[in-house]
Homo-oligomer: A and B are copies of this chain.
Amino acid sequence: MEKILRINMSADGGPEIREEPLGEYAGLGGRGLTSAIVSKEVPPLCHPLGPENKFVIAPGILSGTLAAMSGRISVGCKSPLTGGIKEANAGGQPAQVLARLGYAAIVLEGKPKGDDIYKIVINKDGVQIIPDNSLKMLPNYDLIEKMKAEYGDKIACISIGPAGEMKMCAASVACTDMELRPTRHAGRGGVGAVMGSKGVKVIVLDDTGMPMREPKDPEKFKEANRTFVKGLQQHAVTGQALPAYGTNVLTNIINEVGGYPTYNFKEGQFKGASKISGETEAELEKQRGGVPTHGCHRGCVIRCSGIYHDKDGNYLTKQPEYETVWAHGGNCGIDDMDAIAKMDFLDDNYGLDTIEMGATIAVAMEAGLIEFGDAEGAIRLIEEVGKGTYLGRILGNGAEFTGRAFGLERIPVVKGQALPAYDPRAVHGIGVTYATSPMGADHTAGYAVAQNVLKVGGDVDPLKPDGQIELSRNLQIATAAIDSTGMCLFIAFAILDQPETFQALMDMLSAFTGKEMTADEFMELGKNILTMERDFNKRAGFTSKHDRLPMFFKTEPLPPHNITFQVKDEDLDKVFNW
């Protein structure tokens, strides 16, 4: 995994493939690598859809090894949604497969001259890039079926749906799961539009014949991995709650504490919450022959994923995640689990970020296009996006865009990206992360919900500003580092609570690279990544003024606590003081 594969889409005779050593990027992986390449190589003032932007895909440092949970892949570029640097990551199979094929990163550069669309095929024999206009505007599920027919079922795919081809700012990059379905998405920031602007529809990976990546110290590595897995299994969140109910275990919890944004962030509790909770979802899955406990990639031991069947017992979609259920559910006043699952499928199929789309539909509801609670109407709106109608062109560009199209001012976005499923007025720590993350509003960038609500890794009162800056700072640093390892972020629950599990991760990294990784060095890595990202954003024109929530969070109290967001601007500016 010491090579970078670069494909220049601008080359006169068609795309030009070259491989080069990692060089100055040696030692980096995942988010650390995508952010380093984007920050160093992309002119910060370029148009995100222009030839100067680069589209970078990188498995993590430990991806492709036998390490449990190491199946995350990072996608990086200048974001067309935020205008800043972007790393969005996904589970599924591609991280492991790409890493075993020996690539630390794929970098798509330039922009094709014509309007041909390409597939990239990588296996043990090498790399091919092939124009294939028969793929144009295929939804992800059809596309993957076609790839399976052509390349067999040992492949893993990274692809875009019609939304990415139409260069919509809510377009995601899909990764296939263990069942070879396009269900795991690098969702946020419009990364699918950038892949679309490079003219690449799908990357087909086949690691048949490639060995697992070998650590420098195999014994120490194996031992550390055992301790690590044990730690995950014994922790209540990663060992019980997530396997049993998936991420949607959060619906009842967040609703209970009054932090569940309802009706486009107007209330903090949703009457219909129990109808769309993880408990209900798992029960439906069991009844209908779906799967409530399931991993999204080889080597996952948390298994928070699942498979959701429709009323007739046929596959509908993978188990919708908490944020998806919230976005299309409570935030839109919708309490129909099947309708939400249908929307999850449509989003995956068209290649759309479920969070951005749910937030967008709620904004469209506020604009009066359909009523809050209208599940059929909401499904219809997503179908408009897939078809690329004029209305679809509006909605597919996200919540802020839709708000502007219809002249609204209550738009829950930071840096142009929609807020996820936790109201910052009732969960102050996550509000700090939303406001200050270089990624725009992103719960995964520093998941303070853990300490504010779940009381994992600490206990910080969610309704008060006290302690939230330090909390978000430390989480953002740790997250940037974890996002570099290829590890699923959910390991954080266990490593934050259990020192020996954290140490096991350090030991795995040390044993793999042969270079000692200490806790301090790990945090240093996180800081370096955030510094690069913020430096890019600064050169792109961002200032502290962009590290703010929309004004209405400061002026509209949120029921039931009836409080506003209380963290002071000058304190937000201290998040990155270390």
Contacts and interface: CB of A to CB of B under 8 A. Distances in A.
A41 to B, nearest CB: 15
B80 A404 contact: yes
A46 B409 CA distance: 9
Interface in A9-51: 43-50
Interface string A212-235: 000000000000000000000000
A83 to B, nearest CB: 10
Given A390-B390, A394-B390, A409-B50, A541 B551 contact: no
Q: How many copies does the complex hold?
A: 2
Interface in A140-190: 166-169
A46 B197 contact: no
Contacts of A167: 407
A44 B546 CA distance: 11
Contact of A197 (B80, B409, B542): B409
Contact of A169 (B43, B404, B541): B404
Nearest to A541: B545
A338 interface: no
A181 to B, nearest CB: 27
Interface string A60-83: 000000000000000000001000
B391 A44 contact: no
Interface string A373-405: 000000000000000011101100100010011
A393 B390 CA distance: 9
A53 to B, nearest CB: 9
B397 A405 contact: yes
Contacts of A193: 407
Contacts of A390: 389-391, 393-394, 405
A50 B394 contact: no
A550 interface: yes
A543 interface: yes
Interface of A: 43-50, 52, 80, 166-169, 193, 196-197, 389-391, 393-394, 397, 401, 404-411, 539-543, 545-546, 548, 550-552
